[in-house]
């Protein structure tokens, strides 16, 4: 896959939207509306959501790169089992059916509640006859969610990668989460993951995530989506979406590594960021969560052009 567009974080993004009830979407986006949306997205050159003087970050718009989210239906209440379904429409209002594989999948679906909790990363299935993506789905808790579609269109003249998003309201009793506080240690299923390194806006920063169990370093990390670690970063406040992978060569089947996973990361602006690390041991994927603050680089806010391309979801 092309390396262009790394979303402001050096490295290597899934769509979803939500209807009011579970089932197949009955509403159809009019061709005129699709044309209008995509024309508007093209005319702004991905800059509808500005991140500063020179920065833009994908993953904050329903339309981008000539593509639009279709109406999607899913369970409408927490703890209701069902299916989430959606399509990606092109500039003519037709469903996109050709995708380029990116990190072992044609499309990545990520959902998170707007308070930073309830993170999910799954891979739906495409019905090529209708262009409909679907996945079994259940919202564990009520609230407002952001759902991201991360994909690479298969057509030769398409953008290298596109990240689209919608907010989803889920009915039920809501238990608000306390405000996020900085955290560089995460406990998950007996594993302790520690984050070392500082984020600095506008420049590349090295982050090292170390995995341990019972005080001993874990050296049996397995490849997951073409790397030994998979990192999603969201900016607190607007949940701007940044998606990276570990540095180093792509592992071969049967390879193991650990305890350290390294990322070269560049935050587009100073502020608080929510980090979600997927790692795999013994065939099971677990997610460690962190909260870190990115400081402002001394001498200005310009980003290093070598690492500030937009569009590549992974």
Q: Mark whether 54 and 165 lie in a shared domain.
A: yes
Assess if residue 4 is contained within a domain.
Answer: no
Q: What is the pLDDT of residue 203?
A: 85
Q: What is the pLDDT confidence band of residue 137, given thresholds at 50, 70 and 90?
A: very high
CATH of the domain at 81: 2.60.40.10
Structure confidence by residue, pLDDT tens digits, 263-312:
988 888 999 999 999 999 999 999 999 999 999 887 644 434 333 333 33
CB–CB of 277/233 below 8 Å? Answer: no
Q: Mark whether 107 and 141 lie in a shared domain.
A: yes
CA distance 206 to 114: 27
Give the structural domain span for 222. 185-307
Q: Mark whether 151 and 232 lie in a shared domain.
A: no
Q: What is the pLDDT of residue 245?
A: 62
In this predicted structure, the answer to whether residue 112 has a pLDDT above a threshold of 80 is yes
Which of 145, 170, 195 is the C-terminal boundary of a domain?
A: 170
Largest CA distance in the chain: 59
Query: Pairing between strand 205-213 and 199-201?
Result: unpaired
Q: What is the pLDDT of residue 56?
A: 60
Choose among 121, 114, 161: nearest CA to 314: 161
CATH of the domain at 264: 2.60.40.1220
Q: Which two three-digit tokens encode residue 104?
A: 């072992």
CB–CB of 263/207 below 8 Å? Answer: yes
In this predicted structure, the answer to whether residue 118 has a pLDDT above a threshold of 80 is yes
Domain count, the chain: 2
DSSP state of 8: T
Choose among 17, 7, 13, 18: nearest CA to 108: 13
Q: Mark whether 157 and 214 lie in a shared domain.
A: no
Assess if residue 158 is contained within a domain.
Answer: yes
Structure confidence by residue, pLDDT tens digits, 161-216:
898 998 889 999 998 888 778 999 999 999 999 999 999 998 888 999 999 999 99
| Higher local confidence (pLDDT), 6 or 82 | 82
Q: What is the pLDDT of residue 299?
A: 62
Assess if residue 210 is contained within a domain.
Answer: yes
Q: What is the pLDDT of residue 253?
A: 81
Q: Mark whether 166 and 191 lie in a shared domain.
A: no
Structure confidence by residue, pLDDT tens digits, 42-74:
333 333 333 333 346 767 899 998 999 887 788
Q: Mark whether 210 and 271 lie in a shared domain.
A: yes
Considering the chain, what is the average pLDDT of its residues? 79
- What 3-state class would DSSP assign to 39? helix
| Higher local confidence (pLDDT), 243 or 213 | 213
Which of 170, 195, 218 is the C-terminal boundary of a domain?
A: 170
CB–CB of 270/8 below 8 Å? Answer: no
Assess if residue 180 is contained within a domain.
Answer: no
Q: What is the pLDDT of residue 243?
A: 62
């Amino acid at each position: 896959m092309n390396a262009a567009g790394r979303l402001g974080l050096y490295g290597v993004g899934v769509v979803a939207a939500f209807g009011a009830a579970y089932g197949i979407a009955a509403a159809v986006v009019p061709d005129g509306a699709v044309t209008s949306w995509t024309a508007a997205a093209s005319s702004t050159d991905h800059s509808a959501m500005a991140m500063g003087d020179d920065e833009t970050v994908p993953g904050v718009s329903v339309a981008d790169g000539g593509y639009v989210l279709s109406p999607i239906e899913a369970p409408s209440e927490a703890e209701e089992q069902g299916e989430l379904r959606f399509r990606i429409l092109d500039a003519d209002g037709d469903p996109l059916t050709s995708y380029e594989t990116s990190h072992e999948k044609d499309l990545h679906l990520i959902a998170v509640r707007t308070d930073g909790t309830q993170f999910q990363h799954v891979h739906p299935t495409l019905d090529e006859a209708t262009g409909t993506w679907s996945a079994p789905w259940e919202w564990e808790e009520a609230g407002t969610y952001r759902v991201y579609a991360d994909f690479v269109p298969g057509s030769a003249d398409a953008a290298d990668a596109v990240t689209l998003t919608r907010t989803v309201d889920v009915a039920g009793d809501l238990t608000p989460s306390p405000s996020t506080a900085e955290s560089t240690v995460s406990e998950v299923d007996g594993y302790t993951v520690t984050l070392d390194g500082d984020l600095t806006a506008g420049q590349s920063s090295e982050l090292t995530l170390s995995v341990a169990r019972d005080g001993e370093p874990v050296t049996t990390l397995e490849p997951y989506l073409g790397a030994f670690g998979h990192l999603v970063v969201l900016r607190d406040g607007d949940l701007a979406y940044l998606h990276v992978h570990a540095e180093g060569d792509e592992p071969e089947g049967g390879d193991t590594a650990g305890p350290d996973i390294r990322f070269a990361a560049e935050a587009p602006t100073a502020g608080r960021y929510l980090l979600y690390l997927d790692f795999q041991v013994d065939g099971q994927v677990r997610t460690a969560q962190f909260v870190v603050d990115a400081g402002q680089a001394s001498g200005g806010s310009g980003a290093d052009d070598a690492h500030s391309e937009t569009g590549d979801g992974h």
